[in-house]
Structure 1
Amino acid sequence: MSRSLGYSLEEDRLLCEVYMQIYQDPIQGVYQSPDRFWGRVVEAYNNEKNTTWSERSKKSIQSRVQTIQKATKKLNACIKQCDNRHQSGTSNDDIFNQAKLMLSEDPNFKEGWKFGHVWDIVKNFEKFQDGVARRNRLSIPSGFDYTSLESDNPTIGSSTQASPHLSSSSLNLNDDDEIVGGSSSPRLLGVKKSKMKRKIGDQTTSIINTLKEGNKQFLEQLKKTSEQRQQHLEMQRQNYALKELKEENKILFCDLNSVHPNVRGYLQAQQAQILQKRNDQQQNQQAPPPSMSFGSIGQIFRNIGESGSNLPEY
């Protein structure tokens, strides 16, 4: 089997399967732009391909799909023409071979039919058909599928019975059903509905998980913001306490001998209040309060007044 544009048979099959799957996506198939659609095709193909295969660009994949699509549509048109000739005793395989020969006579398809390896994948896909009716479709194991435009009820001895590849189970006589790979349309619809339900369920689960993750991140951010705010408030409190402590120390260690006698009494009262406050704080913290008498307080004042303390003047 010949290859074109460097695509192997396996690459062509994967590409057609990915293209059909994304095109028929019941959730996003209709509601997406061409760029989004082809972007999904390229992403799915490169994710599912064999690691030894080449990475394919969007332009390359678009071109390859269009080449297969164009050839498949032309072959379907040739099959339709050959079928309309109503040659007695002509089998399905004969019509298929005649269609391929007719295709090779077209100047645009001089190399003939090159995509038999993907025919079983694309033959029933509407995007690869050329207006061929989908009623009373035959499933041919040899890889051929066409529609009879006049005979809805083939009988024994007709061309359909002449083919050694066509069994009675391959023919659907019900106008409301369609044979696709040996399965009637009700079953096919059931499979599609099951797939659609599974996809909807998967997407719903994905949305729920996304919301849960978003809520989790939001709560973590709130917690982080709250902690940062608490740290900021604690830092402000500590800065205020440190500033207050410096002011109190400035009063406590003031040299009373260097100030005016009228101010000295005020500073002594302030020092007594500061010492009392600190003593109360120690008691509130259940720490043993320091043993301090008025004599010891007087000793502190005397020590403060001594020279050489290197303390700033008030």
Structure 2
Amino acid sequence: MSRSTGYSAREDHILCEAWLEVSQDPIVGRYQSADNFWGRIVAKYNETLSEQGEGRSLRSVQSRMHNILTEVKRLVSCVKTIENRHQSGASDEDNMRQAKILFMHDAKYKKGFKFDHVWHIMKDIEKFKDNVSTVRHMYREPNYDSSQSEKGFDSPCTESPGLSPFASLDELEDNLIANSSRRPIGVKKAKLKRKTSEESSTAVNEIREENRQLLELLQDARLDRKTIMSRQKEKDENKILFANLKDIDDPSVIEYVRAQRTKILEERRQQSTSSSPQNTFGPLFDNLGGPGTNLPNYDQFYN
């Protein structure tokens, strides 16, 4: 059985190293299935910790790694946003401190970044390098000194994990286009201003289009992940439903399997009733292992 206690810093470190080793495998790479990918990570993780006792379950490892990746992605985006401000005299430590303040502007992360102990491992992986779009060449923001840094930015990171931290487009347009002067300007300056405004407007439209495309990609990715998880759950349940109890010697395990079968079948009946008037799982799951089917009763078959 797997543990239910929280992960220590050392466990997170080992988990991240296992994830990196499997995900960056030059031989298998992207051609491995999701089941094989996570199975290798869990095996490598539990093998490293085997001398300390019980390991972690697949779902536990997946959930923890998802949390780490989500927060690291978000902080990477926030760091890029701060770096694109080009604050005069700001050190890497200043940028990181301001990025963490920006990170906490998101309501989901008010308590701050929780994975400093693995940041040095995860921050530079290839997965994050091209995820952040930059508008550094299109506008200039006022510099903030250390006393103003916590008040110098009002917008949180983008709400969608993995997307670029886009600046407020309306505010960006205002900074680029509405730059009026108190004195009349010359013809050349007027033409230059008009040209700059047109180019800036085009750039803003391009950013909007990129944002829309990234949102669509994120929605597709969420649907794919939901489908994968649903299929994996169904596969796990089917293993329980069709397990041969004659091969199991432990009476407590047999009772557990029977209880799980009852629970799974009841959940499937409820889902079928609530989602559609048609039976989603067909006659096979309508009365599995009971009278009215070609399968024998559980009690007759396994007892």
TM-score by length of 2: 0.41
TM-score by length of 1: 0.40
If you compute each CA radius of gyration, which structure gives the higher value, 1 or 2?
A: 1
